[in-house]
Amino acid sequence: MIDLAEIRPRHATPPSGFEALAAEIFALKKQLNALILAHNYQVPEIQDVADYVGDSLGLSRQAAGTNADVIVFCGVHFMAETAKILNPDKIVVLPDKDAGCSLEESCPADSLARMQATNPNFWTVAYINCSAAVKALSDVICTSGNAERIVRAAPAGRDLLFVPDENLGEWVMEQTGRPMTLWRGNCYAHVEFRRDAVLELKRRFPDAKVVVHPESLREVRDLADAVASTEKMVAYCKSSPARRFIVVTESGIIHRMQKECLDKEFLCAPAFDVTRMPADHCRCSECRYMKLNTLEKVRDCMKRLGPRIELPDDVLKRARLPIERMLEISAQPVENAE
Ligand code: 13P
Ligand code: SF4
């Protein structure tokens, strides 16, 4: 029997039927020799049955190092594709095949190829939030957790092309001072956060520290005490002596933050004008793609071994090198390593 007190934070009530579904999933996991990976934005009940919950970098590392036969990827499509590229001989399933990403959509591979053809000296750094076909055209992949480091490691004589997130790209340029040509894509959920809304929350809670995901606009990043990937956001909140945090990213992360910092308070930044919001009203930001996954769909994809990630052999081969390059650069020891 699952000990709910162990896997859920004190405050959280599990949804009805959680225990029976979780028991089914644990039995399937054993039977299939499966690894369940979940992104920090997944609903609490999915996080609670996962073997590992983390950001894109941590999830890629887990996928690269697993001995499981089946990877159940509770996240969005490009994340499951990355797991498949790293494990071409394993079965990789995701609970909902329509769990996409606005960044991935913004950068079709044929448009990228046309852009690359305009400058043979381009070195393409692709944020992991892109399709396998785009990865196959790229020189190196990065995540929000290692983008700065990956760009610093790029060959000095090359012109950098950063795709597809213009906001992460802009932030990395600010950090490194390295000019880059930016693809004009963005995360539809993060660009909804506005300076005024965060300022109003800061006015109401002056003791709160502000943690911001780098996919957000500069007007919001400029208000941050920390700009960080989802994993580094959790780490920052854990290690900070502050008791209260304004969290500017998708609201799924709050579950992990509360689970790992029982005595701290987390306020979701609202994705609209907070001055018109009643004080007790919650309007947290949600990624409509991440939220397509449910615990029932996790059970079903394990039962059916589908939807399954399948990719053409040439894409699998070509996309692997830039991902491995990222993992290698990221693993090199430095101060403040990811
Ligand atoms: P992280 O790698 O920081 O978890 O970000 C993934 C993502 O999709 C953010 O919107
Ligand atoms: Fe893509 Fe944005 Fe959703 Fe992350 S939050 S998966 S970047 S749409």
Domains and CATH numbers, the chain: 9-98+292-304 (3.40.50.10800), 103-186+313-337 (3.40.50.10800), 190-286 (3.40.50.10800)
Q: Which residue has the tokens 């963005």?
A: 186
Residues 113/25, Cβ–Cβ less than 8 Å? no
Q: Is 293 in the pocket of ligand 1 (CB under 6 A)?
A: no
Count of other CB atoms within 10 angstroms of residue 324: 15
CB–CB of 39/55 below 8 Å? yes
Ligand nearest to the CA of 213: 1
Mutate which of 229, 232, 237, 251 to test ligand 1's pocket (most atoms within 8 Å of Cβ)? 229
CA of 101 to the centre of ligand 2 (A): 5
User: How far, in Å, from the CA of 24 to the mean position of ligand 1?
Assistant: 29
User: Which atom of ligand 2 lies nearest, measured to the CA of 101?
Assistant: 1
DSSP run (H or E) holding 259: helix 253-260
Closest CA to 38 of 228, 291, 311, 285: 291
Verify whether ligand 1 is closer than 6 Å to residue 81 (CB atom): no
Give dist(CA 317, CA 83) in Å, integer: 13
The neighbouring-strand residues paired with 244 are 265
Contacts of 296 (CB under 8 A, 6+ apart): 21
Q: Whose CA is nearest to atom 8 of ligand 2?
A: 101
pLDDT in 10s for each residue of the chain, 338 residues: 445 455 455 456 788 899 999 999 999 999 999 999 999 999 999 999 999 999 999 999 999 999 999 999 999 999 999 999 999 999 999 999 999 999 999 999 999 999 999 999 999 999 999 999 999 999 999 999 999 999 999 999 999 999 999 999 999 999 999 999 999 999 999 999 999 999 999 999 999 999 999 999 999 999 999 999 999 999 999 999 999 999 999 999 999 999 999 999 999 998 765 555 555 555 688 999 999 999 999 999 999 999 999 999 999 999 999 999 999 999 987 654 55
Q: Which tens digit of pLDDT belongs to each residue from 303-338? A: 999 999 999 999 999 999 999 999 999 998 765 455
Residues 143 and 55: beta-carbon distance below 8 Å: yes
Mutate to test the pocket of ligand 1, among 52, 55, 250 (most ligand atoms within 8 A of CB): 55
Query: Which residues are near ligand 2 (CB < 6 Å)?
Result: 76, 101-103, 129, 187-190, 215, 250, 287, 289-290
Query: What does the block give as tokens for 12?
Result: 């959280």
C-beta 146 within 6 A of ligand 1? no
Would you say the CB of residue 187 lies under 6 angstroms from ligand 1? yes
Summarised one tens digit per residue, pLDDT across range 192-241 is: 999 999 999 999 999 999 999 999 999 999 999 999 999 999 999 999 99
Find out whether the beta carbon of 165 lies less than 6 Å from any atom of ligand 1: no
- Residues 6 or more apart in contact with residue 3 via CB below 8 angstroms: none
Over pLDDT 90: what percentage of the chain?
88
Percent of the chain with pLDDT over 70: 91
Q: Dihedrals φ, ψ of 26, to 5°?
A: -65, -35
